[in-house]
Amino acid sequence: MRVMKLGNRPDTFFLSGPVRSVSTDLATDMQILVDGCLFRLHKFPLLSKCMWLQALCVESGEGGGAVELPAFPGGAEAFEACAKFCYGVAVTIGPHNVVAVRCAAARLGMSEAADRGNLAGKLDAFLSSCLLRRWKDALAVLHSTRRYAALCEELGVTSRCVDAVAALAVADPSGDASGAVPAGSSSSSPPWWVRDISELGVDLYWRVMVAVKATGTVHGKAIGDALKAYARRWLPIAAKNHHAAEQTAAGGGGGAANADRATKNHRLLVEKIASLLPAERNAVSCGFLLKLLKAANILGASPASKEELTRRVASQLEDANVSDLLIPATPPCAGGALYDVDAVVTILEEFALRQAAASGRPEGSPRRAGRHRRSMSAESGELEGARRSTSMAAASHGAMVRVGKLVDGFLAVVATKDARTPLDKMIAVAEAVPDFARPEHDDLYRAIDTYLRAHPEMDKSSRKKLCRVLNCRKLSEKASMHAAQNELLPLRVVVQVLFFENARAAGLSSGHGNRVAARFPGDVSALLARPRTTEENGKDEQRPAGSVAADGDWSVEGRRDWSVVASRVASLKMRLEEEDGEDAGDEAFVHRTRAGLARSASSRITAAAGRSKRMLSRLWPTSRTFT
């Protein structure tokens, strides 16, 4: 730490209670009241260097009353340092008091206009030549400007400190000159200056980071590490629970006032960090971006900040986890729900737009002229462009598949933990993912099943509306077995699952004559008659035949004989007959389905496969999942 000593006379100032005086043979002729402390001094040494005191003395006349200096920057300590400089008494200036003394000198008018070699000029030279060239000293000076923010801005001290700190961080990647980097730090670790600047206030931190980014020499990953470190330092509670942040602030003794102040500071912090996010895609993780979005939701950040965070999350959504998407809902718009599903829908819509733009073919691709032969370089360039386009399309498809898996997992968690989520919001999230992004619908079916179990009072139309997002052709055998005996599903979905599985079993059995399913072409024996083990037979004694296992274990219990299948078909017939009067379309559907379900078990395999295909073509067109 560098210091500067001004003056060479011994200290003759002494303190007597709230009065500070100078021990001289001459009587004092001036009294100045600063911050409750009365200074008894002489006019000549002070007025010769302080233009502001000259003006005060002229205004107050020659009376012997004390001159009061209200709201004096730096208080009595800074004024005493200025007074000692006027008397030539030795004064020590360092990084922790240079700003206070500089502001006090500016208030007293101790500039070159009052006297050559005055205090303000000496302090400015000390800052430029010494303090702002060393990392720790520059940071200490920058910290101290916060107490006198307005005056430091007016004097340009804050700007000089910010530029100096940013220049030192960029110009000294090793940190050896400042002594701030620990020995043995690796290049893969965050930059050495990240921890130091994390102690700055949000305004100063934002200005330093803007200056660092403006240099263009710091990698985006380093900027991202700095932002994560600062958020971890100052935003741990607000990012998790807004009410906890309020209680913590209120516990400081200020009650609601402190809580409002803490909320405002945290909101400003989130907005500043959002504005500093680097342009590089992987500079920060998707999980960190979603944490910022959660904090922005909780703290009521500006719409521009939320939009920026949503855009950045959508650019790397395939890297997120299900827990990252569980954004807490705010009370004004939640409707009692725990999670903000609308925010997830907005992210998915932005992601879909980006994927559509990325998978589009590049415009202006060269076409082959009719009578002109292309050069080898042109052909190789076109081939390379085609390869690049193919690889981009494959990457885009892979990202969509990962997002589809993510969304289905999110729906399952929301259906399990938040029964108050409206049906239309669940459907909106499910439909935000295109069909090709779901090679299998098992996870989606699990979410639908969980939601139906959480809402047993749901009417038939709502259940049908929810199940329209399900493609029964993409269910695995295990999921189909569960769906075939799921009493909560609409009858159309159950029958559709039965026919798709029957067609699949018939297609497999046509190539494998020893398949058990071949003996039951008109039903879904592949679902209801799977090989049994000794352990499962033991369980059957304790579980009713035909029961559906608990959530997470999709299995169908029951015997392999035809009586169980006939019982299942009969129950479906009865349930379908109950809905005969619903509408004309349902009645026709019931009659067509009943004919398919009543097929004899003695029909041949090939005939069963042909009839199943014809019935499927009549009941469900290939372009839609449901009628």
pLDDT in tens, 551-567: 445 544 433 333 444 45
Q: How far apart are CA 386 and CA 321, in angstroms?
A: 33
The rounded mean pLDDT for the chain is 76
**What φ, ψ does residue 231 adopt, rounded to 5°?**
-65, -40
Is a pLDDT exceeding 50 seen at residue 224? yes
pLDDT tens for 490-532 read 988 888 888 888 887 777 655 544 443 333 334 444 333 333 3
What's the pLDDT score for residue 604? 35
| Residue ranges per structural domain of the chain | 1-158, 193-297
What's the pLDDT score for residue 359?
65
Query: For residue 250, with 0-12 CB atoms within 10 Å meaning exposed, 13-18 middle and 19 or more buried, which class applies?
Result: middle
Q: How many residues does the chain have?
A: 627
Residue 68's DSSP bridge partners are 33
583 — pLDDT class (breaks 50, 70, 90): very low
Would the pTM of this model clear 0.75, i.e. be above it?
no
The whole-number pLDDT of residue 361 equals 42
Q: Which of 84-98, 379-393, 518-532 bottoms out in mean pLDDT, i.e. has the lowest? A: 518-532
- What is the C-alpha separation between 321 and 407, in angstroms, rounded? 10
Distance CA 314, CA 324 (A): 13
Quote the pLDDT of residue 154.
95
For 521, phi and psi rounded to 5 degrees? -75, -25
Question: Span 275-285, mean pLDDT?
Answer: 91
The candidate with the shortest Cα–Cα distance to 530, out of 520, 544, 541, 543, is 520
Q: What is the CATH number of domain 1-158?
A: 3.30.710.10
Which residues fall within 8 angstroms of residue 547, CB to CB, at 6 or more apart?
485, 557
- Supply the pLDDT for residue 573: 54
Name residues whose C-beta falls within 8 Å of residue 544's C-beta, 6 or more positions apart in sequence: 557
What single string gives the DSSP state of each residue in 471-496?
Answer: -GGG--HHHHHHHHT-TTS-HHHHHH
Residue 92: pLDDT band with limits 50, 70, 90: very high
pLDDT of residue 85: 95
Label residue 159 by pLDDT band (50, 70, 90). very high
Mean pLDDT across 190-216: 93
Task: Give the mean pLDDT of 38-51.
Answer: 91
pLDDT of residue 567: 56
